[in-house]
Copies of this chain bind each other. A is one copy, B any other.
């Protein structure tokens, strides 16, 4: 008998997400790698074994205090949030009200509100202040089941302020228990001081920010808001190519407010993910089908902006594009940090099945974050990030909404809150 540090037994549904070392697409998108009456043995913060409770307990033993009986409950990997803007200062509830009374997101942005109002607040804040503001948010994410999250810069928009934000991500990751994967997004918006010389700002991003971020190893990805009135297809291509050359893998905010061919750009440039895609065209879908690019869908944003035009999740899955999910947590277009709210939206509004949504929120999101080697599924050798739910099944977890259904969060083998 081997000794385990933690043993979870008798899960009604153990959704392992085990499978090939690639994003799940098509029919695989619904494969939970389900083990009924399942168990997980944890040794040294990693998954040592998964299987039927009988088999795992025949091999591993623990002291009673390290045994979790998940009888009647769902057990899954920790949720992975594939898209957040977690580092910000200030809030924009005033804009939220103006928008529901009729102003559009782009109108508010064009009137000097929107992203740039958050930029003002972030520039005025120190790195320490940004971390202090983000800590309770990160803790709440963990309490709601998110154990890994991608985090973007993009509210600094100067060399120093972008660096400050990415350093804040690093500091936050040290201070809190969830894993954070940093993305450089200097091309989130053009700052006011460059409004009349936008090309100079792009030069700044390409020639100064990207090299410095790369040199300091502050980010894994480079993202760009490719949108009418923000960065064009050609500008986005130039920025993402510069990022790639400096070792930052490309991501794109694509087809969010207008359909302009940014999904095709994602395919062309070999983006790790194309995010949003509310307005992706059939041609865009076909172009992604042949690539490794993951469609990161963010239904919270459509919901929060008061829209009803959700991304065509069913079509993407049916065409074989792997789908992941994220909150898009940010103060302007999606004020939620809770991936369970996103699972509900993915089913009720995107018409993904609960199984597809859970795969999207774990292993596929891990792939979209470049973290699938370590997290996103419960397989021997991977980090023991897992959730015991109050819900008895994947279906139930996506069916009930509005309450936190995560009972116990295990992060790197340790129960959170103990």
Is A349 close to B, CB under 8 A?
yes
Query: In the assembly, what is the distance between CA of A300 and CA of B351, in Å?
Result: 16
Q: Decide yes or no whether A266 CB sits under 8 A from chain B.
A: no
Find out whether the CB atom of A306 lies under 8 angstroms from the CB atom of B94. no
Within A88-102, the residues touching B (CB, 8 Å) are: 91-94, 96-97, 100-101
Q: A93 to B389: give the CA distance in the assembly, Å.
A: 15
A39-47, A180-188, A395-403 - interface stretch: A395-403
Q: Does A354 contact B (CB under 8 A)?
A: yes
Q: Determine whether A347 belongs to the interface, using a CB cutoff of 8 Å to chain B.
A: yes
Copies of this chain, count? 2
> Taking the complex as formed, is A348 at the interface, i.e. its CB lies under 8 A from any CB of chain B?
yes
Provided the pairs A93-B395, A97-B353, A354-B97 are in contact, do residues A348 and B400 lie with their beta carbons within 8 angstroms? Answer: no
Q: A101-B353, A353-B97, A354-B97 are in contact. Are A400 and B336 (CB under 8 A)?
A: yes
Decide if A351 touches B101 in the complex (CB within 8 Å). yes
> Which residues from B are CB-within-8-Å of A340?
402
What does the 1/0 interface line of A337-379 toward B look like (CB < 8 Å)?
1101100000111011110000000000000000000000000
A335 in complex: contacting residue of B336, B338, B399, CB < 8 Å: B399
Tell yes or no: A249 within 8 A of B by CB.
no
A404 interface hit (Cβ, 8 Å):
yes
A416 at the interface (CB under 8 A from B): no
Tell me if A383 counts as interface (CB < 8 A to partner B): no
CB contacts (< 8 Å) of A351 on chain B: these are 100-101, 306
Task: Give A residues with C-beta under 8 Å from B.
Answer: 91-94, 96-97, 100-101, 140, 144, 300, 303-306, 308, 335-338, 340-341, 347-349, 351-354, 393, 395-396, 398-404
Q: Ordered nearest first, which 5 A-B pairs have the shortest CB separation?
A: A338-B402, A341-B402, A308-B308, A336-B402, A93-B399
Q: List 6 A-B contacts (CB under 8 A).
A: A96-B399, A100-B348, A140-B403, A144-B402, A308-B308, A340-B402
